[in-house]
Amino acid sequence: MPEGKIIKALSGFYYVLDGEEVFQCRGRGVFRKNKVTPLVGDYVVYQADNKTDGTVTEIKPRKNELIRPQISNVDQAILVFSAVEPDFSPALLDRFLVLIEDNEIEPIIVVTKMDLVTAESQEKLSQYIKDYQKLGYTVLETSSVSTGGIEELVPYIEGKTSVFAGQSGVGKSSLLNAINPELALKTDDISSHLGRGKHTTRHVELIHIGSGLVADTPGFSSLEFMEMEAERLSYCFPEMHKHGEDCKFRACLHDKEPKCAVKEAVDTGEIPRYRYEHYMQFLEEIRDRKPRY
């Protein structure tokens, strides 16, 4: 039986890449019965008499999967956040980073629209970038207009399956178009009324860029920690996980516990205070979600 990789899912069809050929397939009825949904990125077994009439018969085990956007077997997540229009949001970035860290996917932070940064906002933005770099994250500054920073991003894409994700309107499609103009992905302006971008990407699809595969995904503006346990959250903040090893209590949640090394690191400036505030916000959301007895 031939095998391939799903590179697009649209209107009930799954497009399976096998070598350099793509086969249009439907999923087996047993998938629906077992409440299993094939995802873009899945390695699958399929059968097809021709390129437009195939069936996905088996889904290979996944090394990871994301729910929003729906994609599996991702090597890295390229988190695209604009410097302005909409303004850079460390709170939303930290939500994405928690999701990515929880799935053990390598994150790369890309700050777009750097050509629009004013002198007044440059200092604050630069400090944010320095903070995330100090935490060990790769942060790239780009502009799809001037193409500044684009060449620096390209080597990270080669030979890997990457998901581009971020708030709607930050320029994900514009960035991909700047990397490869032949893509001609649809883009749209920011809605002046809503202050956010209009959704131009309607489905998840893996696109060939050089030797890599890149997913252009629908933008979204919120994330919920539906499955995460409170004890797991600090592992998704690398600096808190590191300092947490010195806490008095092994199961310290860095909230009201005494002799908490994380809170001490916040007070001394070793951990940015806004990162701790975001952690506490997320912790409360998880607690509110969990039933209390």
Binding-site residue ranges for Zn(2+): 247, 252, 254, 260
Known binding positions for GTP: 112-115, 166-174
Residues 149 and 143: their CA atoms lie apart, in Å, by: 7
The count of other CB atoms within 10 Å of the CB of residue 185 is 17
Output the CA torsion 176→203→219→43 (10° steps).
-80
Residue closest to 6 by CA, chosen among 101, 72, 51, 61: 72
Residue closest to 111 by CA, chosen among 150, 148, 90, 141: 141
Known binding positions: 112-115, 166-174, 247, 252, 254, 260
The C-alpha R_g of the chain, in whole angstroms, comes to 21
With left for phi above 0 and alpha for psi between -120 and 50, is residue 182 left, alpha or beta? alpha
Residue closest to 69 by CA, chosen among 4, 169, 165, 154: 165
DSSP reduced 3-state for 47: strand
